[in-house]
Amino acid sequence: MSKKFVTIFPICENVHLTKDLGQIPFFLHHEYGYRSSIVSYRNSKEYTNLNGEVKGLNIEFIENKGRISFLEKSVLSYIKQHAKEIDVLNLYIFSKFTFVYGILYKKLNPKGFLFLKLDGYNETFEKGYKIKHSTNYFKNIILKYLEKQFLKKVDLISIENTYGETLVKNKYPHIAHKVMYLPVGVNDHFLTQTFGKTFKSFEQKENIILTVGRIGEEIKNNKMMLRALAQTELKDWKMVFVGAINPEFQKFYNNWIESYPQLKDKLIFMGEIQNREQLYEWYNRAKIFCMTSWKESFCHSIGEALYFGNYIIGTEGIVSMPDLTDNGKYGVTLKADDDKAMAETLQKLINDPGYLKNKYSETVNYAHAYFTWSKIVLRIYQRIESN
């Protein structure tokens, strides 16, 4: 019988299914026949992506029965009831919750494979940083003990950037062999089916600078983008913002644009696009992708932009920029408060279309080789099977 792979993530919503949370179990099911499930409370009215990008993936909805201390009662109950039939248990985030759930699983199923996926924030593992799981001295001692036991039992730990991989290995050298760099990818199965015949060549693309995300959220730093654009001669280029717009940012923009009327027809706000094919079509049309976040882990949208050959402009707060751009070959990394550098970078690219054209094919090849879920999940599959 095929292996059963279970991801426990109680707060899973429909949007998570198009990200690593849904894509990893989906590709293990689609490519290798695993019986994959996500265990979660019902947090979205509809999980439409189950009929889209992750068709065939199963969600096991559990009832929220509250907590005992910091632990979800329903999750504890699920693990106790099903641990022995779960071949691979996938948990997320380095936390006290994860430690208890993982230890309980391995106690009930010692031969089971325990897989922890970390996010891309590296601060926790920086040299000299002391991890505290509680502000209470005695509780922290207990939780540190649970952390130690969890690390003994876990079989695979992945992190989304190579620098983070180095930090984790240096902090816990005794488990370095369990740690693996695992980026976030795009659903190449879905994209091949959807855009196989309509994937645009560079010549078919438009002079569009694109950004995708929660427009106007403080951490996204979109005001920097506006300030840089005000210093740029866009010529026949346009800037497209895709994503739900923060009301406060909308007010700011309404006042700001009065000082720059020449940009009114150059800046296009599409709002949130829930249809994945329509969203991907913007990447397909664009030549440049821009993300100005103060802080970001992997940034799924950059991986999506790379797949369609977009040149990347990002900021130092996006810790995966060296990996995503192959250390600057397929994009540029700027300080998150350097409007002038961003304006100069945009102007250089606008004035020299030949540079973008020359980078296009290499960018596509790089993204398809390293940031597609079929390639990424193969590495997980190999680790599970070799265990």
Provide the H-helix boundaries in 259-352. 276-285, 300-307, 321-324, 339-351
Nearest-5° Cα angle at 191, 185 to 194: 165
pLDDT at 121 over 90: no
Q: Is 187 helix (H, G, I), strand (E, B) or coil?
A: coil
User: pLDDT tens-digit profile of 122-168?
Assistant: 888 988 888 899 999 999 999 999 999 999 999 999 999 999 999 99
Domain ranges of the chain: 4-185+372-386, 188-370
Q: For residue 97, give both structure tokens.
A: 């919750």
What is the architecture of the domain spanning 4-185+372-386? 3-Layer(aba) Sandwich (3.40)
For the ranges 133-137, 208-212, 302-306, the lowest mean pLDDT is seen at 133-137
* Beta pairing, strands 67-68 & 71-72: antiparallel
Amino acid in the structure at residue 271: G
The whole-number pLDDT of residue 196 equals 85
Rg (CA), the chain: 22
State the average pLDDT over residues 362-378: 97
The pLDDT-based confidence of 120 (bands split at 50, 70, 90) is low
pLDDT at 113 over 70: yes
Query: Residue 375: enclosing H or E segment and its boundaries?
Result: helix 373-386
| Identical fold, 4-185+372-386 and 188-370 | yes
Does domain 188-370 fall into CATH 3.40.50.2000?
yes
Quote the pTM value.
0.94
**C-alpha distance across the termini of the chain, in Å:** 18
> Which of 47, 67, 65 lies closest to 57, judged by CA?
47
pLDDT at 1 over 80: no
Q: Write down how long the chain is.
A: 387
